[in-house]
Every structure is written in C-alpha cells, then in structure tokens.
Amino acid sequence: MVRRYLLGELTRWLKALEEIRELARGKEIYALPKLYWEWYKHEYYLPFSIESVSAYSAIDIAVYDLLGKKHGMPAYIMLGGLAREKIKVYANGWYRDCVSPECFAEKAKKVVSMGFKALKFDPFGPYFDVIDRRGLDEAVERVRAVREAVGRYVDLLIEFHGRFNIASAISAIRELEQFDPLFYEEPIHPEKNLEGLRRLRTVTSRRIALGERILFPEDAERLLREGLVDVLQPDITNCLGFTGITRIRAIAEIYSAELAPHNAFGPIQHAATIQFDASTNNLLIQESFYEFWPEWKRKLIKDPFKIEDGNHLVPRRPGLGIYVEDSVLHEFRIPEARPQYSEEPVWVVKNTWRSYTEK
C-alpha cells in the first residue's frame, strides 16, 4: 500500500501555520524581514520541517499579495521589476489515464494543437527503484511515440520523480538520449545522494533539473557549487515564498544556472510563480498544469490566466493578480482531514502507474 499522505498531513500543515500566525500577530505588514528572522531563530532545531517552511511560505506570499493590493502594484514590481512580458510554459498533467504509447501520442498532439511548445511527462509507469529491460522498452516506446507525434521542435522534458537507483537511472538516460530531451528531472532522489548526482554527469551532457524539494537557499547553493544541477526548480510554496525564491534566483545567476520553478498544486501557487517569473532573467521555462486542472481548481479564482501559443501572459493587476472566489473555497473546504490510501503514489499523473505490455 502506498500512503496517499496529502490529506492526512494537512492537519500538520495547518498546525504549523497556526504557530507562525501567533508569531506574526500584532506585527506590521511591512515587517516581513523581522518575522523571517524571528521564525528562523525560534524554530531552533535543524533541519526545519517541510510543514513549517511551507507555512512560512504561505505567509510570505500573502504579505506580497496584500502589499501589492494596498499600493496598487503587481508583485513583480516589488521583486525588482519586469524581465519579460510572456513566459514560456511547458504542459504537465496532460497525459492523465495514459499508459500506451498510442494514448501518449494522441494526447501530445492535442496539447501541441493548443499552442504548447514543450511537454513534460513521466514515461516509466509503475517501475520503482529498479527498471528492467521491459520497463526500459516501454519508456522508450512512450517517448518515441510523443517525439514522433510532436516533431523535432517541441521540447520534451523527462520526469523521473527521483524514484530510481543510480544504475537504473543511468540505463534509462542512455536509452532516452536519442530523443533529445530538454532536461532530465530528478533521475535519482536528489537530497542526500551527491555522489549519485556526480555519476549522472559522466553519462549525459544534457541538462539535469531538480530542486522542487529544496527548502532553503543554502541547499541550492551547495548543489550549484558542486556543479550537480543545470536547472533549479524551487517551489515558491516550499522555499520561503518570494523571500526564499528570489535568494535562490540570485545564487543561481552567480552560477549561470537556469530556473524552471515547480508549480504543481493550485491557482495561488500558480499566480505567485508567474509574478516571480515575470521578474526573472535566468528563467528557462515554467511548469503549468493550468489547462489540465479539474474544474474546481480553475474556479477557485475569479481571474482566469491567459496562456497563448504556449506563453503565459503576465497579469498587470496588483498583488498576485488574482482574487479568491470565497464561495468555491467554502464549498471545497475539508473540515477534518484524514489520511487516504491508494495503490498509486501521490506524485504520479493520475492513472498512469501502470504497465501496458503486461495485462
């Protein structure tokens, strides 16, 4: 049984948020650096929990939104100004329910017909830790089907979800080199395996992308200093909000690294990330699930995003550029979060944790 932890851990997240709320109570809205310092030093023990960092990130993002709305300026102005008016995005979540190469090809064609010029997907089905000859063949057939469906000039981004051991990751990369992917994302679990990441460098000269699990700028700096990453993927909801992600951006720039922020959750994360991207020079590309969200996620905000020809337009409205639809928020509130269990891990695109050659 794979534990679907998201709902179960929601209560821990909310508790962390309550603790920071107490710390923030009575402080001026402009006092974000002071709040950061107090939170950082009061936490006391390292490493920090993901819940605490995520809760701090939520407050940070909310403060930028409030300040922007108070002063009538988009958040990107507070982040240094405009670096671009259009943001190239890659589609994710588009291959829901697909396991066969034909299904991947058909859906990929549809995505490209919507204007997208880049697609990310996980072609490894249910293979976990180790991938055998059959698994490699299935992955190759899926990627080949997509490449043939979309042609030479659409970027393919290969997601490994950090699940393989180093030998299996290397085998998979060797097989997929022929399809010229833009990057390989987390071929191995990146947090503690620096030696594994070094070995990947001997196998491919294509970009290695990682960073969605990074909590602090120092963690990004260590990976960059060691030369183990080309594309950093910080997640604004897990890396101290705008405060953390702009620090990571500055460090990445020093090392000539590119950014492709992780953006897999919902409309507030999406809106905040777009504001960040708009002010970022060293942006490679932006992840977007927007077109493939369930309807309720799209309805959570009043102001729809605009993606044209594979580019996200930057909203010029103040703050994050969105207003939350309270009625939808209340409709989908979970008063009591409980754990849920499923065979499919929480990190896969729904209904793709399956093989297609073994019935």
Tokens of 283: 């942006």
Q: Are strands 307-308 and 311-313 parallel, antiparallel or unpaired?
A: antiparallel
330 is catalytic: no
Catalytic, out of 161, 189, 312, 330: 161
- Please, are residues 238 and 71 in contact by the beta-carbon 8 Å criterion? no
Helical H segments across 228-280, by residue range: 241-254, 267-278
Question: What is the three-state SS of 37-106?
Answer: HHHHHHHCCCCCCHHHHHHHHHHHHHHHHHHHHHHCCEHHHHCCCCCCCEEEEEECCCCCCCCCHHHHHH
- Burial class from Cβ neighbours inside 10 Å (0-12, 13-18, 19+) for residue 179 reads middle
Catalytic, out of 262, 270, 312, 330: 262
DSSP 8-state code for residue 25:
T
Neighbouring-strand partners of residue 4? 340
Helix (H, G, I), strand (E, B), or coil: what is residue 16?
Answer: helix
Query: Could you count the other beta carbons within 10 Å of the beta carbon of residue 294?
Result: 10
Tokens of 184: 């390989």
270 is catalytic: no
- Please, are residues 17 and 55 in contact by the beta-carbon 8 Å criterion? yes
Which of the residues are catalytic? Answer: 161, 262
